[in-house]
Chains A and B, each alone.
Chain A
Amino acid sequence: MDGAAADGFDPASGPHQPVFVIEGVSKLYRTGEVEVRALNGVDAVLYEGELTVLLGPSGSGKSTLLNILGGLDKPSEGTVRFRGRELSAFSERQLTLYRRDHVGFVFQFYNLIPSLTALENVALVTEIARRPMKPEEALERVGLAPRMDHFPAQLSGGEQQRVAIARAIAKRPEVLLCDEPTGALDSQTGIRVLEALSAINAELATATAIITHNAAIQAIAHRVFTFADGRISEMRENESRVSPSEISW
């Protein structure tokens, strides 16, 4: 996998700066007497405007890496630099501000606040972000403007996930981290969600990383990282990306 950083990402689409530079990152978890090495010396570079898919079986380390990139967790060894600043050295307070200003998260189980409407769930973020878009605009982008006054319990799974995406992008994040965003959805709904993610990646030039078990999804990525045993076992650039509407599973 050496050389991935040097290869960069399709320079043809314009001058792209690295967003994350990951060097020698390992993560050890200790539960009782058992020591688990979730990541074992990972190196990678992620670029502005790039859509990356992280593939691999359960326990291969992709979620651990995503959590470290999102400032939810810290590496045991190695460094992660976000636009040149060393993330692994951030204090708790700095990590909070980092998440608030730069990162958008999308989870498998949406994690919407049930007591807030779709619009309010998005406003939750725009109220504290530095240069947000209007919540209505974010919902517009995921095609949910007509249902913005509905509570989560009144929305379908796909709609809830699209609200979660709207919430993630409303702050105009530099990074969008998605952990199994289609995992709880049927294929048709999943494709709509991927369309939304893909569109935002293209329009806002957000570095987007999508974790999935679903191999079909890799076709929409600029690059695909395959994980095994805490390492990146393979990195592949897609010569020809397809749009989400063209894939199926």
Chain B
Amino acid sequence: MTALDRKVLRDLGRLWAQALAVALVLASGVATLVLAMGAYRSLDETREAYYERYRFGHVFAHATRAPDSLIVRIAAIEGVAAVEGRVVESVLLDVPGLEAPATAIAVSLPDHGEPSVNRLYLRTGRLPEPGRPDEVAVNENFATENRLSPGSAISALMDGVKRTLTITGTVLSPEYVYALGPGSLVPDNRHFGILFMSRRALGSVFDMEGAFDDLSLRLLRGADEQSVIAALDLLLAPYGGTGAYGRKDQLSHAFLDGELTQLLAMARIIPPIFLLVSAYLINMILSRLIALEREQVGLLKALGYSGLQIGVHYLKLVVVIACVGVVVGFAAGTWLGAGLTRLYGEFYSFPFLIFQWSVGTYLAAGAVGIAAAVVGALRAVHGAVALPPAIAMRPPAPPVFHHISFDVFGRLGLFSQLTVMALRHLWRWPLRAALSALGTSLAVSLLVVALFSFDSVEFMVDMLFFQSDRQDATISFAHARPPAVREAVLQLPGVMAAEPFQAVPVLLRHGHRERRLAITGKPMATDLSRVLDLDLQPVVLPETGLVLSERVAAILDVQRGDLVEVELLEGHRRSVRVPVAEVIQSYLGLMVFMNLEALWKLTGEGPRVSGMHVAIDEAKLSALYAAVKETPVVGSVALLDATRLKFRETIEQNMLVMTTVYVVLSVIIAFGVVYNSARIQLSERARELAGLRVLGFTRWEVSRVLLVELAIVTVLAQPLGWALGYGFAYAVIAGFESDLYRVPFVVERDTFAVASLVVMAAATASALLVRRRVDTLDLIRVLKTRD
């Protein structure tokens, strides 16, 4: 080992506390990068593997009733690898121990062999016997939530007939990784389940013998999805086909995609903050170290070392610190990433998890971490390289101070000389003060980013459940009914009000842009389920024309007044050109509304409703539940209260984990920045402070010079941190926006206050830690040596 390398080690030994603070900040950046990328890749890989092994479909379609003979023709479409025709129907369940009715989707299983598409993973028990109408397998989460196991019995209302079903096993399906019931915003596994039943049995119950109403296809590698969809639509059209679609419109897949998008957004926004702060801290420490070692630099040059050798010497110090940070970051990121992936595994239904920690992720994160440190060091190292030896051997000229405007206050005696010292010191190095403030403000901003999501969710819950969807429950009918059904619904016990709605699947087309969506028809003025714009003002649905959410308008590239081609995917399947009456901004993604009567004219099938939003008298809830469980026309019931609870619970649980991580990381940044600023100040001003002690100032009075300056910088950092946090939060929200929903951007004042309090507490703690060093200043030695 060369003498210079020994110096690197000794310097590290001397600066260990500051070096550790930098390493931890850097580690945080590397960890978040590894965490986000690792969780993203693991989840992506797990999903891919699950899809492949269990043959998840590529194209999906529904029809009213298509003969099994059609399957052969569908299989013959170019690019199709496998076809599975199934019976898929919604049923109403009466689960022991659950007062409210539960909704389920019943999916048929082939009577011979495994399904060629969407295979099941059997977790416990066995699959139902072919032809047994009383046997079902259920999805694992529904079984767990309702404490059902093989052998348990549930009661089901199937096509108007009440049956008792015995559970034979619990399963997982790649189709329902994210099992979202009708009318729900998050999975509610207690009230929504998937039943798997023998094809023969389900077919006979729903009068589907020799026919299917649902289709999943797998495509050959390289097949053209669009042309398969077009061919499939042609074949299914006579049988009530509602238009085939690919994975991107498959609900479970789309939600998983949204989650992956969010992980990527996290990887893009959070780590750069840490890397920036690390670069700044390295710059700060190294500049100071080189300033203190001017004479040594001069000496080394006098001895014949080149500028390059000296530059490399200091870079080695930085690289060692960065390597420590990278290694700690790898460990923390891997550990947290595995935890996060497991959390996802629990939330989503995966039969297995693949932890995908690719070498590439580590290499990239490590390289980025070290690069940030080296970039931070460049300015200081350049300073050392450029110092001419003769100048380096002389102490630097004393800094020149100037009178500043607040000297007036000093003259007036408003500030003590100690405060004036602190103020002038700040004023003398405004850039450094600004950078310190920036570092601290980044900690504040990170906390704002971590905490604001609670505000947004609070707002979203209020908006969705108390402003927009104010109904207590939504009843969907198994098949569309005439509007007079409203009278019957009102007759149900406890129903105080009922508002009809109709959902019609359509293909919207404008020029070459098209999108498969549902038009929701509502009465012109509604009280329960309301259409709101971003200002939460109710939107009155015009007598004609479509009301589109902004996102749909953007997808179709239309504005108010443009004509959109509406292709009906049910019934007559005709195409009509309809004007865009209004474009509204809304939090829920792809919404198309229409006045109910206008929609009836559009479909040409006369007045029909898909379901009712109802207000319920809570006192009569039990009676209503009991009645609904016996009502044949009801296809599904979504209880808003249960959804509301589940929504909060799900989102807050996820947020709590992330918030905890962010708070820890912010404290590390605040601590790192303030601790390093204080240590550097102390080393630069040791002589000055020791001088004050000699003059008879107490330790606290001397510390005050240091603390006042740190306090000013910390306080200045707050508003900047709020502003940055607001900006980062906005970027996060924008990154999270998907077709499914848009998170409202709300930051409450409390959030700023809490962020500031946490950072100020961390700053105070680190400042006090450094303050203790003032006590140990060696008065004699400091005054004897020259700066």
The CA of A114 and the CA of B398, in the complex, are separated in Å by: 7
B693 to chain A: which residues have CB within 8 Å? 96
Identify the interface centre among B398, B420, B695, B697: most chain A CB within 10 Å of its CB. B695
Q: Is A43 an interface residue (CB 8 A)?
A: no
Interface residues on A, range: 35 or more
Stretch with Cβ within 8 A of A (4 or more), from B381-389, B472-480, B778-786 = B778-786
Q: Is B421 an interface residue (CB 8 A)?
A: yes
Query: When the two chains form their complex, are residues B398 and A153 in contact, meaning their CB atoms are under 8 A apart?
Result: yes
Per-residue contact bits, chain B 745-787, to A (CB 8 Å; 1 contact, 0 not): 0000000000000000000000000000000000110011010
Query: When the two chains form their complex, are residues A153 and B780 in contact, meaning their CB atoms are under 8 A apart?
Result: no
Query: When the two chains form their complex, are residues B410 and A113 in contact, meaning their CB atoms are under 8 A apart?
Result: no
Q: Is A120 an interface residue (CB 8 A)?
A: yes
Kindly identify which residue among A99, A107, A120, A125 contacts B420, using a CB–CB cutoff of 8 Å: A120
Stretch with Cβ within 8 A of B (4 or more), from A67-75, A78-86, A199-207 = A67-75
The CA of A121 and the CA of B401, in the complex, are separated in Å by: 13
Given the interface contacts A73-B780, A114-B398, A153-B399, does A105 sit within 8 Å of B694 by beta carbon? Answer: yes
B692 to chain A: which residues have CB within 8 Å? 113, 124
The CA of A127 and the CA of B401, in the complex, are separated in Å by: 22
Which residue of chain A lies nearest to B699 when distances are taken between CB atoms in the complex?
A96
The CA of A115 and the CA of B406, in the complex, are separated in Å by: 14
Q: Is B742 an interface residue (CB 8 A)?
A: no
Q: Is B542 an interface residue (CB 8 A)?
A: no
A96 to chain B: which residues have CB within 8 Å? 693, 696-699
* Main SS class of interface, B: helix
Per-residue contact bits, chain B 680-705, to A (CB 8 Å; 1 contact, 0 not): 00000001100111111111010000
Q: Is A123 an interface residue (CB 8 A)?
A: yes
The CA of A152 and the CA of B402, in the complex, are separated in Å by: 11
Given the interface contacts A72-B779, A109-B786, does A114 sit within 8 Å of B696 by beta carbon? Answer: no
Query: When the two chains form their complex, are residues A128 and B696 in contact, meaning their CB atoms are under 8 A apart?
Result: yes
Query: When the two chains form their complex, are residues A72 and B694 in contact, meaning their CB atoms are under 8 A apart?
Result: yes
The CA of A167 and the CA of B692, in the complex, are separated in Å by: 12
The CA of A208 and the CA of B558, in the complex, are separated in Å by: 93
Query: When the two chains form their complex, are residues A120 and B425 in contact, meaning their CB atoms are under 8 A apart?
Result: no
Query: When the two chains form their complex, are residues B698 and A152 in contact, meaning their CB atoms are under 8 A apart?
Result: no
Query: When the two chains form their complex, are residues B780 and A116 in contact, meaning their CB atoms are under 8 A apart?
Result: no
Name the distance in Å between B515's Cβ and chain A's nearest Cβ.
67
Query: When the two chains form their complex, are residues B688 and A114 in contact, meaning their CB atoms are under 8 A apart?
Result: yes
Which residue of chain A lies nearest to B422 when distances are taken between CB atoms in the complex?
A115
B410 to chain A: which residues have CB within 8 Å? 120
Q: Is A111 an interface residue (CB 8 A)?
A: yes
B421 to chain A: which residues have CB within 8 Å? 113, 115-116
Kindly identify which residue among B416, B691, B701, B784 contacts A113, using a CB–CB cutoff of 8 Å: B691
The CA of A167 and the CA of B697, in the complex, are separated in Å by: 14
Q: Is A93 an interface residue (CB 8 A)?
A: yes
Query: When the two chains form their complex, are residues B696 and A151 in contact, meaning their CB atoms are under 8 A apart?
Result: no
Query: When the two chains form their complex, are residues B417 and A99 in contact, meaning their CB atoms are under 8 A apart?
Result: no
Query: When the two chains form their complex, are residues B688 and A113 in contact, meaning their CB atoms are under 8 A apart?
Result: yes
Given the interface contacts A109-B786, A124-B417, A154-B400, does A115 sit within 8 Å of B696 by beta carbon? Answer: no
Query: When the two chains form their complex, are residues B417 and A127 in contact, meaning their CB atoms are under 8 A apart?
Result: yes
Query: When the two chains form their complex, are residues A105 and B695 in contact, meaning their CB atoms are under 8 A apart?
Result: yes
Q: Is B428 an interface residue (CB 8 A)?
A: yes
The CA of A129 and the CA of B697, in the complex, are separated in Å by: 10
B313 to chain A: which residues have CB within 8 Å? none
Name the distance in Å between A95's Cβ and chain B's nearest Cβ.
9
Query: When the two chains form their complex, are residues B694 and A99 in contact, meaning their CB atoms are under 8 A apart?
Result: yes
Query: When the two chains form their complex, are residues B694 and A125 in contact, meaning their CB atoms are under 8 A apart?
Result: no
The CA of A111 and the CA of B420, in the complex, are separated in Å by: 17
Q: Is B424 an interface residue (CB 8 A)?
A: yes
Which residue of chain A lies nearest to B426 when distances are taken between CB atoms in the complex?
A115
Query: When the two chains form their complex, are residues A125 and B695 in contact, meaning their CB atoms are under 8 A apart?
Result: yes
A114 to chain B: which residues have CB within 8 Å? 398-399, 401, 688
The CA of A52 and the CA of B237, in the complex, are separated in Å by: 116
Q: Is A50 an interface residue (CB 8 A)?
A: no
B698 to chain A: which residues have CB within 8 Å? 93, 96
Name the distance in Å between B456's Cβ and chain A's nearest Cβ.
46
A127 to chain B: which residues have CB within 8 Å? 416-417
Interface residues on B, range: 20 to 34
Name the distance in Å between A220's Cβ and chain B's nearest Cβ.
24
A167 to chain B: which residues have CB within 8 Å? 695
Query: When the two chains form their complex, are residues B688 and A70 in contact, meaning their CB atoms are under 8 A apart?
Result: no
Query: When the two chains form their complex, are residues B783 and A107 in contact, meaning their CB atoms are under 8 A apart?
Result: yes
Q: Is A219 an interface residue (CB 8 A)?
A: no
B697 to chain A: which residues have CB within 8 Å? 96, 100, 128
Q: Is A101 an interface residue (CB 8 A)?
A: yes
The CA of A239 and the CA of B184, in the complex, are separated in Å by: 107
Which residue of chain B lies nearest to A129 when distances are taken between CB atoms in the complex?
B696
Within 8 A of B (CB), among A177-217: none
Per-residue contact bits, chain A 123-159, to B (CB 8 Å; 1 contact, 0 not): 1110111000000000000000000010111100000
Name the distance in Å between B506's Cβ and chain A's nearest Cβ.
74
Q: Is A103 an interface residue (CB 8 A)?
A: yes
Query: When the two chains form their complex, are residues A115 and B424 in contact, meaning their CB atoms are under 8 A apart?
Result: yes
Which residue of chain B lies nearest to A104 when distances are taken between CB atoms in the complex?
B695
The CA of A191 and the CA of B7, in the complex, are separated in Å by: 45
Which residue of chain B lies nearest to A122 when distances are taken between CB atoms in the complex?
B417
Query: When the two chains form their complex, are residues A151 and B400 in contact, meaning their CB atoms are under 8 A apart?
Result: yes
A125 to chain B: which residues have CB within 8 Å? 695-696
A117 to chain B: which residues have CB within 8 Å? 403
The CA of A73 and the CA of B428, in the complex, are separated in Å by: 34
Q: Is A97 an interface residue (CB 8 A)?
A: yes
The CA of A124 and the CA of B780, in the complex, are separated in Å by: 20
Query: When the two chains form their complex, are residues A120 and B696 in contact, meaning their CB atoms are under 8 A apart?
Result: no
The CA of A63 and the CA of B784, in the complex, are separated in Å by: 10
A103 to chain B: which residues have CB within 8 Å? 696
Given the interface contacts A107-B783, A113-B691, does A152 sit within 8 Å of B696 by beta carbon? Answer: no
Query: When the two chains form their complex, are residues B696 and A100 in contact, meaning their CB atoms are under 8 A apart?
Result: yes
Which residue of chain A lies nearest to B786 when distances are taken between CB atoms in the complex?
A109
Name the distance in Å between A113's Cβ and chain B's nearest Cβ.
6
Query: When the two chains form their complex, are residues A101 and B696 in contact, meaning their CB atoms are under 8 A apart?
Result: yes
Name the distance in Å between A139's Cβ and chain B's nearest Cβ.
15
Given the interface contacts A73-B780, A116-B420, does A153 sit within 8 Å of B401 by beta carbon? Answer: yes
Within 8 A of A (CB), among B378-424: 397-403, 410, 416-418, 420-421, 424
Name the distance in Å between A178's Cβ and chain B's nearest Cβ.
13
The CA of A114 and the CA of B687, in the complex, are separated in Å by: 11
A99 to chain B: which residues have CB within 8 Å? 694-696
Name the distance in Å between A80's Cβ and chain B's nearest Cβ.
16
Kindly identify which residue among B428, B691, B784, B786 contacts A115, using a CB–CB cutoff of 8 Å: B428
Name the distance in Å between A18's Cβ and chain B's nearest Cβ.
23
Name the distance in Å between A98's Cβ and chain B's nearest Cβ.
8
Query: When the two chains form their complex, are residues B696 and A116 in contact, meaning their CB atoms are under 8 A apart?
Result: no
Per-residue contact bits, chain A 8-49, to B (CB 8 Å; 1 contact, 0 not): 000000000000000000000000000000000000000000
B402 to chain A: which residues have CB within 8 Å? 151
The CA of A113 and the CA of B686, in the complex, are separated in Å by: 11
Query: When the two chains form their complex, are residues A111 and B783 in contact, meaning their CB atoms are under 8 A apart?
Result: yes
B418 to chain A: which residues have CB within 8 Å? 124
Name the distance in Å between B160's Cβ and chain A's nearest Cβ.
89
Query: When the two chains form their complex, are residues B694 and A70 in contact, meaning their CB atoms are under 8 A apart?
Result: yes
Given the interface contacts A96-B696, A99-B696, A105-B694, does A72 sit within 8 Å of B780 by beta carbon? Answer: yes
Query: When the two chains form their complex, are residues B696 and A67 in contact, meaning their CB atoms are under 8 A apart?
Result: no
Query: When the two chains form their complex, are residues A115 and B401 in contact, meaning their CB atoms are under 8 A apart?
Result: yes
Identify the interface centre among A63, A73, A117, A167: most chain B CB within 10 Å of its CB. A117
Within 8 A of A (CB), among B419-474: 420-421, 424-425, 428
The CA of A153 and the CA of B398, in the complex, are separated in Å by: 6
Which residue of chain A lies nearest to B688 when distances are taken between CB atoms in the complex?
A113
Name the distance in Å between B497's Cβ and chain A's nearest Cβ.
74
Which residue of chain B lies nearest to A151 when distances are taken between CB atoms in the complex?
B401
Sample 15 A-B pairs with CB under 8 A, ordered by A number: A67-B780, A72-B779, A73-B780, A98-B696, A99-B696, A100-B697, A111-B687, A111-B691, A114-B398, A114-B401, A115-B420, A115-B421, A116-B424, A127-B417, A151-B402
Q: Can you list the 6 inter-chain pairs with the closest CB atoms, starting with the nearest?
A: A100-B696, A115-B424, A99-B696, A124-B417, A111-B691, A153-B400
Beyond the given pairs A111-B688, A128-B697, 7 more chain A to chain B contacts, judged by CB atoms under 8 angstroms and listed by A's residue number, are A72-B779, A100-B697, A111-B694, A113-B421, A125-B695, A127-B417, A153-B401
